[in-house]
Structure 1
Amino acid sequence: MKHQAKALPVKQLPSKEKRHQLFGSVKPAPKTKPVDKMHMADLQNTKKDFLFDLDAVGVTKVKHPILIYSFMPPYTQTSVAEFTFTSSLKQTNKGTNMSRFIEQLASYQKNGFSTDLELLKKFTKDMAKRVEQQDATIEVSFPWFFERQAPDTSLIGLNHANASIKMEYHETKGFHIQLSLGVSITTLCPCSKEISEYSAHNQRGNVTMEIRVSDDYQEEDLDWKKVLLEAAESNASARLHPILKRTDEKFVTEQAYENPRFVEDMVRLIAADLYETPFIEKFKVTCQNEESIHMHDAIAEITYDKTKGI
């Protein structure tokens, strides 16, 4: 015999309008304020003495797709970047027009927005005009991917570093460009290697390099991301790899043992490479090791201005 399905109980619900009323919705109140822009109050453009100039005002944590061009494969990649857009504000202005920063981004997106420095220069200068200020700053942070080949098997996967660009424009001072790259590496403890009968502890190190570039730097001739990546990885105990088979692991482990590094060693060696790079005028290098035998991290930092010799 076939079993007949039991009829499910039916709940009688009020209409959607009544459900909304149940949860607090009310009818619109009579409208008394202007609905056309010409008659609306413009508080941001109020002109009075508002006590202080502002160094920066704008919008931050703006996520947006962006094109990245690289000298390492993948040569063109699409990523999601996080933006901050700001300008200064005079004491006589109450506020800035926040929507104009996003309007500027939307207008550039139509033709494809990228991390190209020349494009960002034009964008920042145009943004200053749009918000009617003498200066503007754009900060953009994004993950940059690059292929990494295993040392013995040659298997290829993708690694990434965290890149950022800070572009400042002033109508009389021109442009100021600061670039940054965060790279993860392996370091093996020299002290552990020295005092132990065998083996040595190692850890992941996180290197951050911030640089100021010269006015004549041309990105199409030399990719700053690749330069900074090499400065960090070539001075480490070993590079990180997305794919390692047994023969690769043996190679990397032995390489790290042959190249022990303190955090102090890392920042000094990287600083030497950045000092020898012609287009870099000023740099700051930080290395922070996630210690494998301590609860704390180890950190070292160095700043050097080549234009001042200090």
Structure 2
Amino acid sequence: MNAPNNRKKVLPNKFERHKLFGSVDPGPKTKPIEKDKMADLQNSRKDFLFEIDAVGISNVKHPIQITSQLQPQSQTTIGTFTFTSKINQDSKGTNMSRFTEQLTEYHSTKNFIVSIASMKQFTQDLAVRLKQEDAYMEVTFPWFFERKGPSSELAGLNHADATIKVSYDKKFGFDVEVGLSGTITTLCPCSKEISEYSAHNQRGIVSMTVSLTDDFDETAHDWKEVLLEAAESNASARIHPVLKRPDEKMVTEQAYENPRFVEDMVRLVAADLYEQPFIEKFSVACRNEESIHLHDAIASITYDKSKEMK
């Protein structure tokens, strides 16, 4: 066997190491470094063949603050943003830096708490900054809420994925959609019916998107809690972060007493959403991660209350 080499290495300095791995000296610079002297291709004006419906940036992650009527009532989480606007046929492109520039400005100077009201103001300000007639923003974030075991009352934090979408048009105003994707337990009615001893259950994902009426008051209603309750209250059982044995007994028995097909889930959730006076249009989908199949079971409903006969 070769003896270990215990001699201390003598390394070239960092500059020489970079050269060793391919770095080269800067070449001659001929283009201007002052902003007002640089070419601005994005602001070129010609006939560029088509108007663009939406151009901007997506997958922008940024810390945000949100409020909730459930504990914790104030929390910091991570928002994933999309920002876009239209551009006319005679415009080459948009100013990409202005999207993140405004996000940073709101975060650092405006005590930025993400809500429907603040997102409407953000989108309107964005249209002005972009010198456009419209703007669109979307933010998705994990929302944490306290959940106690039904018997022990030991608390932990669950989370659901919440979304706010705001479209602004200088002529037509705002269009607002909110959404939530939450996790539930469902127990198979068919399995319960045909089995001697038990029934299989699975984890279900309920996803809802709703259009709110213009007079929706978010100080009176926490839309996140409303959508979460629509999903969880219609499930076989709720999901819990902490369960002791008495809790587990209660949850499993509750699930057995409330079997749900995926079709049942979307119909029951749709009924709750339909009854909310501030919800104008909604879509609800459920995906069950089947425990005895390799496939998932899915169902969905879309309904627009504004199209009903008066």
TM-score (norm 2): 0.96
Please report how far the alpha carbon of residue 77 of structure 1 lies from its aligned counterpart in structure 2 after TM superposition. 0.3
Q: Out of 73, 85, 88, which is 1:87 matched to?
A: 85
Please report how far the alpha carbon of residue 23 of structure 1 lies from its aligned counterpart in structure 2 after TM superposition. 1.4
Give 1:231's aligned residue. Answer: 230
Give 2:45's aligned residue. Answer: 47
User: For this pair of structures, how many residues does the alignment match?
Assistant: 305
Residue 9 (str. 1) matches residue 10 (str. 2) = no
Tell me, in whole angstroms, the C-alpha distance in 1 between the residues paired with 2:20 and 2:266. 64
Tell me, in whole angstroms, the C-alpha distance in 1 between the residues paired with 2:123 and 2:210. 19
Give 1:198's aligned residue. Answer: 197
Tell me, in whole angstroms, the C-alpha distance in 1 between the residues paired with 2:192 and 2:8. 75
Q: Out of 23, 26, 38, which is 1:25 matched to?
A: 23
Task: Tell me: CA distance 1:176–1:9, structure 2 relative to 1, closer, same or farther (3 Å).
Answer: same
- Code of the residue aligned with 1:119 in structure 2: it is S
Give 2:57's aligned residue. Answer: 59
How far does the alpha carbon of each residue in 1:10-34 deviate from its partner, in whole angstroms, 9 at most, with x for none? 3333333222222111111111101
Please report how far the alpha carbon of residue 153 of structure 1 lies from its aligned counterpart in structure 2 after TM superposition. 1.0
4+ runs deviating over 6 angstroms: none
Is the contact between residue 178 and residue 210 of structure 1 (CA under 8 Å) also seen in structure 2?
yes
Is the contact between residue 266 and residue 287 of structure 1 (CA under 8 Å) also seen in structure 2?
yes
Tell me, in whole angstroms, the C-alpha distance in 1 between the residues paired with 2:47 and 2:146. 55
List alignment gaps of at least 5 residues for structure 1.
1-5
Tell me, in whole angstroms, the C-alpha distance in 1 between the residues paired with 2:308 and 2:302. 11
Residue 174 (str. 1) matches residue 173 (str. 2) = yes
Is the contact between residue 104 and residue 127 of structure 1 (CA under 8 Å) also seen in structure 2?
yes
Give 1:296's aligned residue. Answer: 295
SS of the equivalent of 1:147 reads strand
- Code of the residue aligned with 2:125 in structure 1: it is D
How far does the alpha carbon of each residue in 1:165-201 deviate from its partner, in whole angstroms, 9 at most, with x for none? 1111000110001101001000000011111112101
Tell me, in whole angstroms, the C-alpha distance in 1 between the residues paired with 2:307 and 2:12. 76
How far does the alpha carbon of each residue in 1:176-234 deviate from its partner, in whole angstroms, 9 at most, with x for none? 01101001000000011111112101000100000000000010010000000100000
Tell me, in whole angstroms, the C-alpha distance in 1 between the residues paired with 2:64 and 2:162. 13
Task: Tell me: CA distance 1:220–1:11, structure 2 relative to 1, closer, same or farther (3 Å).
Answer: same
SS of the equivalent of 1:168 reads strand
Give 2:148's aligned residue. Answer: 149
Is the contact between residue 212 and residue 283 of structure 1 (CA under 8 Å) also seen in structure 2?
yes
Give 1:36's aligned residue. Answer: 34
RMSD value over aligned CA atoms?
1.3
- Code of the residue aligned with 1:183 in structure 2: it is G
Please report how far the alpha carbon of residue 8 of structure 1 lies from its aligned counterpart in structure 2 after TM superposition. 4.0
- Code of the residue aligned with 1:54 in structure 2: it is I
Tell me, in whole angstroms, the C-alpha distance in 1 between the residues paired with 2:118 and 2:283. 25
TM-score (norm 1): 0.96
Is the contact between residue 63 and residue 82 of structure 1 (CA under 8 Å) also seen in structure 2?
yes
